[in-house]
Structure 1
Amino acid sequence: MTVKQRYEEAKKKYAALGVDTDAVMEKMNEVKISMHVWQGDDIKGFLSDAELSGGISVTGNYPGAARTPEELRQDLEKAYAMIPGNHKLNLHAIYLDTEEQVDLNEIEPKHFEKWVSWAKEQGLGLDFNPTFFSHPMYKDGFTLASADKEVRDFWIEHGKRSRKVAEYFGKELGQVCVNNFWVPDGFKDNPIDRLAPRRRLMESLDEIFSEKLDEQYTLDAVESKLFGIGAEAYTVGSHEFYMGYGLTRNKLVCLDAGHFHPTEVISNKLSSLSLFSEGILLHVSRPIRWDSDHVVIMDDELQEIGRELVRNDLLPMTNIGLDFFDATINRVAAWVIGTRNTQKAIMKAMLEPIESLKEIELSGDYTTRLAMIEELKDFPFADVWNYYCESNGVPVGLDWLPEVKEYEKNILSAREATAGKDSCRFS
């Protein structure tokens, strides 16, 4: 049977439950995933040769990492060609593309003009992140919460300039740019004073956000973390800190799947947050025992995230971004696997007869609820997904893998032949 024929059979089966698969595919076209640029070069960026620091670490040395903005964009184009739909790209400030030698407290929109031109050509939106790590002014584990005013002032200026870059993205591309603030500040061992650093972080953020920017162009988000490398005992920007800050300052609260206790999940937080926040930012990732940012797979938590977003109609208020980095496998393949899995989880949730299930639950018929949810696990979801891919002109099933392997052979391997070339724009 062809992909279309299999889809027609699946369509009938879902229709018997009251699910319109054609309508589901239309809804899927409205879902934008913000794919993260940093998977392509292991979070090196193009600002300096500084080693990763600030709770950030990447393992592996798979051949073919991008060394220049041009190579990175080439890899991104290959990945997007394997992913159905029209999406966004999430840039970090260290991915500026300019011949000028500038520091983080000097960045301007002009340093990202090439990214904007490329995004226009590709039909992509852009999101942004200021970069509060891997820099000499990340001192003694602190940036915005530092007791040193000189350090704070440097990073405050970087935050302000990052907001201008994000505003520029939104104006130029006609899509709102979500600008996400995460800082790694904290202590390796138990501190005496947990309050003062949090007060300094609050005041620094208030200064950064003091200028009101048009929300049709950019939205600010704040992201918590349980701990990071070198900040195992105390993280200034905890979940409680940023939940309070985001809700009282009208900022998006970012929930990262790896930034909580190992037994916590973000799926169960979404409905509560939606009641009090005007918007949500997700960083979809996969932690293994800690915030290890593994490539997203179709595990239980990813599917629960999809269900919560769809069952509660939270997609309109939720910005979905990815955050993982794995240098032990082909980096283009990592993008494709993680993004397609995130889309699959959302589609799978859309293929549930949600309104019927809610009515059954409200009536107290938990037997039927359980029976239907379990039976749906055997429904031909893959046949709908495959037809969605075919309809969008991207490879079906594993057909994308040979293309990526060929790309590795012809493009990525050639980079290894010139591996001595400096990947940094400035030395």
Structure 2
Amino acid sequence: MSSTIERSYNEAKELYARHGIDVDQALEQLAQIKISMHCWQGDDVRGFLFRDQDLTGGISVTGNYPGAARTPDELRSDLERALSLIPGKHKVNLHAIYADTDEKVDLDELKPWHFEKWVQWAKEQGLGLDFNPTLFSHEKSSDGFTLSHPNADIRQFWIDHCKASRRISAYFGEQLGQACVTNVWIPDGFKDVPVDRLSPRRRLKESLDEIFAEELNPAYHLDAVESKLFGLGSEAYVVGSHEFYMGYGLQNNKLICLDAGHFHPTEVISNKLSSLSLFAEGILLHVSRPMRWDSDHVVVLDDELLEIGRELVRGDLLAKTHIGLDFFDASINRVAAWVIGTRNTIKALLRALLEPIEVLKQAELSGDYTTRLALTEEFKSYPFGAVWDYYCEKQGVPVREQWLAEVKAYEQDVLLKRGG
């Protein structure tokens, strides 16, 4: 341990202790929080089952930075590099199209063994896995409809895919000893104003009912459903709206996924957490940065990310909230994108853990809003950075921007040697 880092940490501890904050305890709590890092940042959402299929479902990736992963082994190598620069032990979030198999298989035929290499890798790395059925970039989703499709055969294909995905998820959880969260998102919707808004939503509800009919052990598998306000190609109407999925999730005890970019541009998910926590079985977060709505920029330590962290900590919501990332940027080094976004998410949680929450709550309850505002503002300049540096060094990862040199070296040694 660097003497400078340790000295700064001890000085910071003394300052925080004056307000009753146990910094050591905060770091212990932080080390238990798992962030689910999304695999699709590493290869621009291409996957390995249908590499030549164009992206559909309103998904678009900007940029052509060299070194995108082309194989499962390359992607796992990139994930390992990123995770080695991030403090803590976390999870990796897979989409169904990332199956690692030489077998020619369609989405409705996927089995746990098509992901066995991922499971063995996760065991070796001490990681958990999360999962998503892939309901886009497929010939059967080319008209923009999947689980709400008016064609019963196409609808059944997607139902069967989601059923298969849940069984894969349960296998992940059983093998890795921690629950796998499997999230259902669909691109279904109309570009222009529909006449019948009800029938597609009725079909979606019926499809979900069939998908979730098989009971799976919640110790190994958890279901989540994800809404969207609108998408490219579905600007006028999205079948799986927030109201639809909130109602479905509450009625059927499913996790409700809040994606930071899936709401009106003036809405934020931080303000939804407290209300939803009172009624929902649990919450799944897709932390992103919607610069212009759902643009999926790399997460930075902005006001909304800090507010998400505060809401989770102040409301004691960490136990019922699963935190995942969802962004994809091909204009910068993809490994760096993971590192920046994940480290920032952890920083936001640490900032929240280092607040005098009980003092602030008591001031608010007593009507002393002056103290509430004064302390909230003063703590913004408390020596959080000294605590963060200590945590990184204690966890055996680079302190501050030192990680960037390792990513640059990996780029020269590995990424730039990959073909197109």
> Is 1:246 equivalent to 2:223 in the alignment?
no
Give the counterpart letter for 1:223 in structure 2.
Answer: E
What residue in structure 1 maps to residue 85 of structure 2?
A: 82
1:55 to partner: Cα distance: 1.4
| Conserved 8 A contact 2:56-2:142 | no
Pairing 1:43–2:23 present: no
Q: Deviations over 1:304-350 (max 9, x none)?
A: 00000000000000000000000000000000000000000000000
Of 18, 22, 25, the match for 1:23? 25
Could you say which residue in structure 2 is the equivalent of 1:237? 240
Separation in 1, partners of 2:292, 2:97: 28
Q: Of the candidates 349, 362, 367, which is equivalent to residue 365 of structure 2? A: 362
Maintained 8 Å contact 1:139/1:151: no
Match of 1:318 in 2: 321
AA aligned to 1:249 is N
CA–CA separation in structure 2 for the residues paired with 1:345 and 1:337: 12
Q: Give secondary structure in 2 for the equivalent of 1:253.
A: strand
Give 1:278 deviation, angstroms: 1.8
Q: Which position in structure 2 is the counterpart of 1:33?
A: 35
Whichever residue aligns with residue 142 of structure 1, its letter is: F
Question: In structure 1, what is the Cα distance between the partners aligned to 2:372 and 2:279?
Answer: 29
Of residues 202, 208, 213 in structure 1, which corresponds to 2:216? 213
CA drift at 1:17: 1.2
Distance (Å, rounded) in 2 between the aligned partners of 1:306 and 1:13 = 21
Q: Could you tell me how far apart the structure 2 residues matched to 1:278 and 1:18 are?
A: 32
Match of 2:181 in 1: 178
Report the AA paired with residue 320 of structure 2: M
1:13 and 2:33 correspond: no
Q: Find the aligned partners of 1:30 and 1:83 in 2 and give their Cα distance.
A: 14
Q: Distance in 1 between matches of 2:21 and 2:95?
A: 40
One-letter amino acid of the counterpart of residue 365, structure 2: L
Structure 2 gap segments, 5+ residues each? none
1:111 aligns with 2:108: no
Measured in 1, the distance between the counterparts of 2:47 and 2:295 equals 20
The secondary structure found in structure 1 opposite 2:240 is coil
Of 262, 269, 274, 1:271 maps to 274
Equivalences for residues 394-409 of structure 1 within 5 A: 394-409=397-412
| 1:342-364 Cα shifts (integer Å, max 9, x gaps) | 00000000000111111111111
The one-letter amino acid paired with 1:188 is K
How far the C-alpha of 1:193 sits from its partner, in A, is 0.5
After TM superposition, give the deviation of residue 290 of structure 1 in Å. Answer: 1.4
Counterpart CA distance in 2 for 1:282 and 1:113 is 26
- What are the Cα deviations for residues 212-257 of structure 1, in whole angstroms up to 9, with x where unaligned? 1111110000000011111111100000000000000110000000
Q: Is the 2:355–2:379 Cα contact (8 Å) retained in structure 1?
A: yes
Partner Cα distance (2:381, 2:115) in 1: 47
RMSD over aligned CA atoms reads 0.6
TM-score norm. by structure 1 comes to 0.97
Of 291, 300, 308, 2:311 maps to 308
* Cα pair 1:92 1:130 within 8 Å, conserved: yes
Residue 285 of structure 1: how far off its partner (Å)? 0.3
Pairwise CA distance, 1:141: 1.0
Aligned runs of 1:369-388 on 2, under 5 Å? 369-388=372-391
Moved over 4 A (4+): none
In structure 1, distance between residues paired with 2:232 and 2:341: 24
Residue matched to 1:61: 64
Match of 2:278, SS? helix
Residue identity in the other structure for 2:18 = A
Asked whether the 8 Å contact 1:295–1:338 carries over to 2, the reply is: yes
Q: Aligned residue for 1:425?
A: none
- Count of equivalent residues: 417
Letter in 2 for 1:312: G
Gaps of 5+ in 1: 420-427
* Offset at residue 139 of structure 1 (A): 3.6
Structure 2 CA distance, aligned partners of 1:285 and 1:279? 19
Provide the rounded CA distance (Å) in 2 between the counterparts of 1:13 and 1:256: 36
Instruction: Give me the whole-angstrom Cα distance separating, in 1, the residues matched to 2:386 and 2:198.
Output: 54
**Cα distance in 2, alignment partners of residues 59 and 153 from structure 1:** 33
Q: Does 1:334 align with 2:337?
A: yes
Q: In the aligned structure 1, how far is the partner of 2:355 from the partner of 2:4?
A: 24
